Structure 1
Amino acid sequence: MTSTFPVKAQQPGTIGGVVGAPALVRATALCARASGGRNAEPAETRAPFTGLTTAVLPQADDAETRAAFRAARTAQRSWATTPVADRQRVLLRLHELVLRHQDEALDLVQLEAGKARLDAFDEISATALVAAYYGKHSARILAPKRAAGLLPLLTKAGELRHPKGVVGIISPWNYPLALTAMDVLPALAAGNAVVQKPDNQTALSALWLHELAEQAGLPLDAWQIVLGRGSDIGDALIEESDYVGFTGSTPTGKRLASRIAGRLTGFSLELGGKNPMIVLPDADVAKAAAGAVTACFSSAGQLCVSVERIYVHDSIRDEFTKAFTAKTEALRLGGALDYGAGMGSLTSAAQLAAVSSHVDDAKAKGATVLTGGSARPDIGPLFYEPTILTGVGPGAKLFAEETFGPVVSVYGYSDVDDAIAMANDTPFGLNASVWAGSGKHGWEVAARLKAGTVNVNEGYAATFGTVGLPMGGMKESGVGRRNGVEGLLKYTEAQAIAVQRGIRLRPVRGVPPRLWARAMTAGMKALRRLPGR
């Protein structure tokens, strides 16, 4: 049956029920920081909570985008010679500024993306953690590395890391602050300049972080933001970048990769997911049910690592489903700029249509809605109830396609091997969640799942917040990783240097090649026994 969810009333005294005059003035000022806008038609954005206009954004054209790359390339030459320790200090100052001015960003993220405020705070946390991690560890990760040379004492060998040059970043609308930080900050830490194209819908959040980065000491032009339509500036972004980072849908990522490959330019892609959660028979049902609410409905399910499939052991399935449904129905829906709502709005009319289509299709094909299943225009134009279904079969779009909304299907299983097989039976492999009474058992199951990140007794936050771990997808969920050591080194070129002393690495005059080869063979056998070989 469809439940009635509590509603958090709109905040009084606000413009359009969303944001007060100071924040709108701030938004207008941020728009002026974007490159371009002289020739292309401006883009108007609307607040998901109300549908009212929030900003009119300048749009760059091809020529203006290429000009931004030229400016970034000039700035990069100086930035690359800046000691890594000085680059780290910029990021550490940015960390402090983000935390100090977080209320501004919370308003902007809610205004643009329609998130509940606690979900918007997740973006503040992620941004601060990324700035702190690379602000502390970049020098160590990028430092020259010694290697064992071919001949002990005679061959000095090492590895250097050089920045790629100018990195092009194409950012999505769903996590505008966090994903900007995760992609842009390590690129800058590595000595690159960045030209970023954020999605128009959530561009103000990226512009806010850009402004703070310059306050923290980032040189002018080292990070360029261009606002524009892909059809107008996509060619420039691909053709001018020395490396491309993209977050978005799998079909778009595949098309982008095929174009980038023609230039033999490096790239990383974080793409779609149909993320599973497995509840083992020894799991704490109450904790698993509460965790599922967060895993499925944070940011109204518009999270790349959000859970969309839950597999529960038959022995606890009824108990879990009852607890999960009750906790879901207790979520408060609303669009106020405070921490009162448990779930906010979808971000666009396209997402609302996609979510509604998936649920309606599943119901028409025999699925049962345990709770939710309806849009809530009484709250705002893009609200949709958090929805739990059972009996979703392979013929339904909801079964295998990414929904990217507050919708989850629950299934039973009797054998853990079957649950693992069902969880892995997808072309995607981004994130997964395992709930177990034993951490050791949970780890063992997690290791058998084909996903780039797996959280035990958590939905996604444990890996998402551990910035030292790599984050990315297997299979059609992407290529490459963000965060951790890999998230920094991908923005660099590795260079090997070896200095040879005392002896040539070819037979000297008078030594027969066969004798030389025998001597070298004996030497290689001996070297194998030395430490570090």
Structure 2
Amino acid sequence: MTTTTTLLEEISVPEGIGRPIPDAATREVIAYAPVHTTEDLDRAIADARAAQPGWAALGHAERSRILHAIADEIEANAEELAVLLSREQGKPLNGPNARFEVGACALWTRSAADTPLEPEVVFEAGESRAEVHYEPLGVVGAIGPWNWPMMISVWQIAPSLRMGNTVVVKPSEYTPLSVLALAAVFNRHLPEGVLTVVSGDREVGASIAAHPGLDKIMFTGSTETGRRIVEASAHNLARLTLELGGNDPGIILPGTDIAAIAENLFWGIFLNTGQTCAALKRLYVHDSQYEQVVETLANLAAAMPSGNGLDEANVLGPLQNEKQFDVVRRLVDDARARGARIVTGGAAAPEHGPLFYQTTVVADIDDGAPLVDEEQFGPVIPVIRYSEVDDAVRRANASSQGLGASVWSSDVDAATEVARRVQAGTVWINQHGAINPNVPFGGIKASGYGQEFGVAGLKAVAAPQVIQR
């Protein structure tokens, strides 16, 4: 008789050795994650350095074949991965949530394998010719977040592997199990040392940023932490890709068909219960349609089922951790104290679990309130009036952050004209937060620098070499 070991059993360590990881919805312990040290990090980077030449020598075609095999493996284990992700992170299985995220892992892995990156002829005259080739950097250190732990890890891992690098991953302390399980699936097809997860605390994360054995650091997380990584990496001049916080604005232009955009607008705001860097976080609406938009969002918010993510009926889940729950509660309480109108929601939802917060729409609020000026990262949207489009653009651009933005209108040409004036790495028209593995993605201002996805993403994890004759 044979027994099958689950991914969770494969990656967990015994109680008393590891750190307890709670279910985001119930707060019951799921399993115990390994607690790696800086010495473990040193060994992982040394192993990655030793494995890198052999991995690079396989060539693009073989590495791409292996990535396709990994994508197949992800799909074969999709439901087990989705259930673990739902429990640890909190997002429901259904809707644009856990099953969606696991599917995106396979999609982005295949895209990294299939995106062509040929040598570029940049000069040619007579017998003179200059070409740009792209070679592996070496070892990539990847530091991921807790909101989309599997998908964003793949954004870092898959292109790095495709280009012949080896990777050492440091997952968030809140969601290590998801990343450990994903890496276990990858490692069924990778040589030893090519991909290692170091599941440690903040000390390990800080050591990655300053480690002399890394050639590239990729980080998704807060602007504050991103600044510390820039400072720490100065000593070894590691290349950086930083996808930092966002306080994305949306502008609804006068005369827009609100019913036609309502569903896209809602999910642009409340995707992953609002816990998305590139979610719409402050919405500017013209006086003429202000109350209609507020009422439409409030009705949708009241109708969307929230609760434990393993319940197939739910599409909204809890805040992932106590710290983020406290941020959301503080910002809404402050808005209420300032006289803002809480149209729907505005309180905890303990009937669902300790860290659930009602889906909340806040009206009659303005710039200067913390709920507008800060990134709430939760199921709350402040809706702000404007009278002139130029003023809405000015206010949208007033933030120090510039990850994403959106313009909404029944006149796509008018929306595009306004979009060109908005300061953000991506400006969507009649949608928000939609991403494509072939389309570059990255922020400006305090939202970081460097691009991911497609050809730009491959180049970001490669060393350009000019061959000139």
Same-fold call, TM cutoff 0.5: yes
More displaced stretch, 119-128 vs 350-359: 119-128
Amino acid at match of 1:116: P
Q: Find the aligned partners of 2:255 and 2:75 in 1 and give their Cα distance.
A: 39
Equivalent runs, 1:311-350 vs 2, <5 Å: 311-350=284-323
Deviations 1:394-435 (A, max 9, x none): 443212011111111001222221211111110011111221
Equivalence for 2:48: 72
Establish whether residue 361 from structure 1 lines up as the match of residue 334 from structure 2. yes
- 1:470 pairs with 411, 418, 440, which one? 440
The SS at the match of 1:460 is coil
Equivalence for 1:485: 455
**How many residues get paired?**
463
The SS at the match of 1:133 is helix
Bigger radius of gyration: 1
> Given that residues 7 and 181 in structure 2 are in contact (C-alpha distance below 8 angstroms), is that contact kept between their aligned partners in structure 1?
no
TM-score in terms of structure 1 length = 0.83
TM-score in terms of structure 2 length = 0.94
Equivalent runs, 1:437-448 vs 2, <5 Å: 437-448=410-421
Establish whether residue 125 from structure 1 lines up as the match of residue 94 from structure 2. no
How far off its partner does 1:263 sit? 1.9
Equivalence for 1:58: 34
Q: Find the aligned partners of 1:57 and 1:205 in 2 and give their Cα distance.
A: 10
How far off its partner does 1:25 sit? 5.1
How far off its partner does 1:121 sit? 2.5
Q: Percent identity?
A: 34
The SS at the match of 1:85 is helix
Q: Find the aligned partners of 2:270 and 2:174 in 1 and give their Cα distance.
A: 21
Q: Find the aligned partners of 1:296 and 1:96 in 2 and give their Cα distance.
A: 32
Equivalence for 2:120: 145
Relative to structure 1, is the Cα distance of residues 293 and 236 closer, same or farther in structure 2, using a 3 angstrom cutoff?
A: closer
More displaced stretch, 395-404 vs 368-377: 395-404
How far off its partner does 1:23 sit? 11
Q: Find the aligned partners of 1:24 and 1:482 in 2 and give their Cα distance.
A: 35
Equivalent runs, 1:441-460 vs 2, <5 Å: 441-460=414-433
Equivalent runs, 1:99-498 vs 2, <5 Å: 99-117=75-93, 118=95, 119-137=97-115, 140-141=116-117, 143-149=118-124, 152-215=125-188, 217-232=189-204, 234-239=206-211, 240-461=213-434, 464=435, 466-498=436-468
Establish whether residue 45 from structure 1 lines up as the match of residue 15 from structure 2. no
More displaced stretch, 167-176 vs 484-493: 484-493
Q: Which runs of 5+ in 1 are unaligned?
A: 1-21, 500-533
Q: Which runs of 5+ in 2 are unaligned?
A: none
How far off its partner does 1:289 sit? 2.6
The SS at the match of 1:147 is strand
Q: Find the aligned partners of 2:128 and 2:465 in 1 and give their Cα distance.
A: 16
> Given that residues 24 and 54 in structure 1 are in contact (C-alpha distance below 8 angstroms), is that contact kept between their aligned partners in structure 2?
no
Amino acid at match of 2:267: T
> Given that residues 274 and 309 in structure 1 are in contact (C-alpha distance below 8 angstroms), is that contact kept between their aligned partners in structure 2?
yes
Structure 1 runs of 4+ with >4 Å offset: 22-25
How far off its partner does 1:268 sit? 1.0
> Given that residues 78 and 103 in structure 2 are in contact (C-alpha distance below 8 angstroms), is that contact kept between their aligned partners in structure 1?
no
Q: Find the aligned partners of 1:279 and 1:426 in 2 and give their Cα distance.
A: 18
Amino acid at match of 2:199: L
How far off its partner does 1:24 sit? 10
Amino acid at match of 1:418: D
> Given that residues 65 and 237 in structure 1 are in contact (C-alpha distance below 8 angstroms), is that contact kept between their aligned partners in structure 2?
no
